Chain A
Amino acid sequence: MTAIGDSPLARRVRAAATRFTTPLLPDDYLSLVNPLWSARELRGRIVSVTPEAEDAATLVVEPGWGWTFEHSAGQYIGIGVQIDGRFVWRSYSLTTPPSRDGRRLVVTVRAMPDGFASHHLVHGVEPGTVVRLAPPQGEFVLPEPLPGKVLLLSAGSGITPIMAMLRTLDRRHGSGSLADVTVVHSAPDADRALFAEELDLLGRRHPGWRIVQRHTSAAGRLVLTGSGADGEMLEDVVPDWRERETWACGPAAMLDDAEKLWADAGNADALHLERFAASFGAAAQEGMTQGGTITFARSGRTVESDGATTVLQAGEEAGIPMPFGCRMGICHTCVAPLRTGAVRDLRDGTEHRVADTDQSSQTVQTCVTAAAGDCTVDL
C-alpha cells in the first residue's frame, strides 16, 4: 500500500474499516471516487501515449495503490486492457530505471500486426484509461557488479528491456562510464528503429560503450547460425562475443538461434534470454513423473494429467471453458478454487494443498500449476 502506507497502524485501520464494508473492501467504495484508490487488484491510469517510431508508442502509467516501485531494469510488467468488455493481458518491459520519484511506469509498445492488445495500446487508448497491472517479473536483469564484458543483443521491440538497462547504467555511472558494454540492435530500417537518437547519445556519453544500430532492410539480418554466405555474422560485428556475458531479447527465431550458437560454443551459461513467458524450471522437470487425475467439479469432467501439463492446458484439452489471461502467472484471471488435493506451481515448485476434510478451498492460478496427485478444481 504505497499510498496509505503499510505500517502496522495502517493495516489495523484497514482491517477495522473492512469490518464496516464486509463483504467488500474499503477500496471498493474509495475507488468510486478515484479508480486508483484500490489495492484489490493492481491498476494504473494511462497518463500519456506518445507515438514513437512507426507503429510504436511510449505509454506512461500512473500506478494505483499497492504498487511498490521495486523493479529491476530488464523486468517486465503485465498490462491488462479492456477490449470489447474483456481484459486482455500482455507483458511489456519497463523502459525506465526503478525509482520511486516521479511515481510513473514507462513502457514502449509496438503494435504487432496480429496483436490485438498491442494495437489497441498504441492506437486505441486514451490518456485517463484505467488499466490493470501485474507486478514486475523476470530474471532478465543485469547483475551487480557488472561482469567485465557485456553484450546486449536485440532486435525490434526487444530493445525495450535493454533500454531500461542502459538508462540504469547511465544513471548509476554518470557520464563517461568505462564499463565495457557492446550493444547490437537490429531494426528493419531507420523509420522503424526505436530509441535511435537516444542510443546514439548514450554511445557518445560513455567511451566504454559501443552501440551498433543495424538496419536489416539494408544490411540484412544478423547471422547467428549459418555461414558468412548468409550475410553479416555476429563474429564480424562483435569479434569477442565469446568473452562477453550476453543478454538477448527479440523475436523467438532470433533467440532460438542465439541459444544454439552459444550452446555450440559451449558457452550456454553466458547467455541470458527474455522470452516473455513463465519459465517452468526444475519444478516442471521433477513434476514429470507425478501428475494425477484432475476433477473439474462444475463441468463434471475428469482428466488424467502429467506433472508438466498445467491445469489450464488440461482443462482446455478436455473442452472445458477455462478462464485465462496472460498464461504466465501474472494476471490472476485464470484463478480457480482448489477444493481438494494438491497442485504444484511450475515456476518455483511450491505445492498448494487442500485436505479432503477441509471445507475451505484455496485459490490457485491454473496457468502455472500442474496436478501434484489427484485434485479437484471448481471449474
Chain B
Amino acid sequence: MAISDIKEFAHLTEADVEALGEEFDQIRRDVEASRGASDEEYIRSIIRTQRRIEIAGRAALFGSVVPPLWMAGAALLGVAKILENMEIGHNVMHGQWDWMNDPEIHSATWEWDNVCPAEQWKHSHNYLHHTYTNVLGKDKDVGYEILRVTSDQKWNPVNLGQPVFNTLLMLLFQHGVAIHDLDIEGLLRRDIQDPEEFKAKLEQVGRKMRKQMGKDYILFPLLTGPFFLTTLTANMAANLMRNVWSYAIIFCGHFPDGAEVFTEEQLENETQGEWYLRQLLGSANFTGGRLMHVMSGSLGYQIEHHLFPDLPSNRYPEIAERVKEICAKYDLPYNIGPFPKQFWRSIRTIWRLALPNKKFAAEQQAHEAEGLHRDHATTSPAAEAAPLAA
C-alpha cells in the first residue's frame, strides 16, 4: 500500500513535522520579502531572449530549403518553444510573477505556446497536481491515467503496452497535456462524469489546437512560399523537440526511484507541515548548470518547486541550499541525481511495471511499510546523493 501516514513513514513526531513546517514557512517569508528589481529583470530578460530566439528561428526558415538554415530554424524555434513553455509559461501560470503587478506577466492572463489551453492547465496542474501531489486517485499526474508508474497501481493486461504508450506520449506530449484536464478515465469507462463539461473543455482544446497548428503547419509554411514543405517539417521538428525534452524533464520530477506515493487517507486532516513533507518526499531533483536549469524550467529543482510553486524560479537555487540543510537536520532524504540517471530510473520503472513484476512490487511494498531509514545522519547531508534505496 502506498503511504497513508507520512509521519509514521518518516519516523517523525507531530512536533517534528510542525517544526519542519515552520522552517519551510520561514523560507517562504524570506523570499517573499526580498523579491525585487533583480527578479523582475530576470523574467523580463528571459522573455526578451525567448522572443528574439523565436523571431530568429522563424526568419531562418525563410531559407528552409537550405539544410543548415532548416537545422538552425528548427533548433532555434524548438529552443524558443521550450523556454516559453517551461521557464516562462509554466512558471508565470503558477503565479510566480504575479507580485510584480504587471498584467502582461500574470497567471490570470498568460496563454502559452502549446495546444493545451492555459485555463485547463491551471486546473489540472496548479490545482490537482500541486495540491494532491502523488496521491493515488487524486493526482492524475501519477501515470497520466495511461501508465502504471508504481506497484500500488493494480496491474492490468493493458499495461503490457506501456513501453509503446510511453513512447507515444513522449512524441505527442503537448497533445497529451492538452487533454489532461478532460475526464479521460471516465471516457475509457464510457461513463463520463459531466458530459457537458467534457464537451466544453474539448471544444476549448479544439480552438487552441486550430490556432497553434494553423500557425505552425499552415500559415508560416505558406509565408515562406516555395519552401512550404521544408518549413512545415522544420516546425514539426521544433514541436517534436519541445515534446521530447519537456516529457523527459517532467518524467524526472516524480517517477525516479525514491519518490513516494500516498493514499487518500494521508489527506485527511493533513497539516501544513505534512503537506510540505509530502511534497518533499514525492519529488525528485536533478543536477545541472545554470543553462540546464533554465532550459528545464527550473524543474531540476522539482522539490523546491513543489514546496513553493509560486515563488520566482530564479530563487530556487538559494532555496535549495536551505531545503538541503533542513533535510539534513531532520534526517530526511533529498532525492537528487544527474539528469540521465534520474531519467533512466523513471523509464526503467515504467518498463518494469508493464509486467506484474511481483518481486519489484514486493520490494516497493516493503519499503513503504518499513518507512525511511534513520541512518541518513551518518552520510554527508551536503552530498548530492543517495536517493533512497528502494
Residues of A within 8 A of B (CB): 19-24, 28-29, 32, 40-41, 80, 82, 84-89, 298, 323-325, 332-333, 335-337, 357-361, 363, 378
In the docked arrangement, what's the CA distance between A89 and B104, Å? 15
Say whether B113 contacts A23, CB under 8 Å.
Answer: yes
Least distance between B200 CB and chain A CB atoms (Å): 3
Say whether A335 contacts B215, CB under 8 Å.
Answer: no
In the docked arrangement, what's the CA distance between A32 and B49, Å? 10
Note all chain A residues with C-beta closer than 8 A to B196.
357
In the complex with contacts A19-B215, A335-B108, A359-B201 CB distance below 8 A: yes
14 pairs across A/B with beta carbons < 8 Å?
A22-B214, A28-B51, A32-B51, A82-B100, A85-B36, A85-B41, A86-B99, A323-B101, A323-B106, A324-B101, A333-B103, A335-B109, A337-B108, A358-B200
Say whether A84 contacts B36, CB under 8 Å.
Answer: yes
In the docked arrangement, what's the CA distance between A237 and B35, Å? 52
Known interface pairs A359-B200, A359-B204; 11 further A-B residue pairs with C-beta atoms within 8 A, sorted by A's residue number: A19-B214, A20-B220, A23-B112, A24-B113, A29-B55, A82-B40, A84-B37, A85-B40, A85-B99, A85-B100, A86-B40
From A28, A85, A337, contact of B39 by CB (8 A)? A85
Say whether B101 contacts A325, CB under 8 Å.
Answer: yes
Q: Which of A24, A359, A361 has the most CB of B within 10 A?
A: A359
Least distance between B280 CB and chain A CB atoms (Å): 22
Least distance between B60 CB and chain A CB atoms (Å): 16
Residue of A nearest to B202 (CB): A359
B212 interfacial contact with A, CB 8 Å: yes
Residue of B nearest to A379 (CB): B108
Say whether A359 contacts B197, CB under 8 Å.
Answer: yes
Note all chain B residues with C-beta closer than 8 A to A80.
101
In the complex with contacts A19-B211, A32-B48, A86-B108 CB distance below 8 A: no
Say whether B111 contacts A23, CB under 8 Å.
Answer: yes
Residue of B nearest to A336 (CB): B108
Say whether B52 contacts A23, CB under 8 Å.
Answer: no
Least distance between A43 CB and chain B CB atoms (Å): 10
Residue of B nearest to A300 (CB): B131
Note all chain B residues with C-beta closer than 8 A to A363.
108-109
Least distance between A357 CB and chain B CB atoms (Å): 6
Instruction: Give per-residue flags for B23-39: 1 if the beta carbon is below 8 A from chain A beta carbons, else 0.
Output: 00000000000011111
Residue of A nearest to B113 (CB): A23
Note all chain B residues with C-beta closer than 8 A to A40.
104
In the docked arrangement, what's the CA distance between A311 and B37, Å? 29
Top 8 nearest A-B pairs (CB, nearest first) are A85-B40, A359-B200, A23-B111, A87-B101, A84-B36, A333-B101, A85-B37, A22-B211
In the docked arrangement, what's the CA distance between A197 and B354, Å? 86
Q: Which of B35, B38, B103, B201 has the most CB of A within 10 A?
A: B103
Note all chain A residues with C-beta closer than 8 A to B35.
85
Instruction: Give per-residue flags for B289-315: 1 if the beta carbon is below 8 A from chain A beta carbons, else 0.
Output: 000000000000000000000000000
Least distance between B255 CB and chain A CB atoms (Å): 27
From B48, B100, B201, B212, contact of A86 by CB (8 A)? B100
Least distance between A21 CB and chain B CB atoms (Å): 8
Note all chain A residues with C-beta closer than 8 A to B52.
32
B362 interfacial contact with A, CB 8 Å: no
In the complex with contacts A82-B40, A85-B37, A22-B119 CB distance below 8 A: no
Note all chain B residues with C-beta closer than 8 A to A86.
40, 99-101
In the docked arrangement, what's the CA distance between A323 and B40, Å? 17
In the docked arrangement, what's the CA distance between A85 and B312, Å? 12
Note all chain A residues with C-beta closer than 8 A to B127.
298
Residue of B nearest to A335 (CB): B108
In the docked arrangement, what's the CA distance between A359 and B199, Å? 10
In the complex with contacts A323-B98, A323-B101, A20-B219 CB distance below 8 A: yes
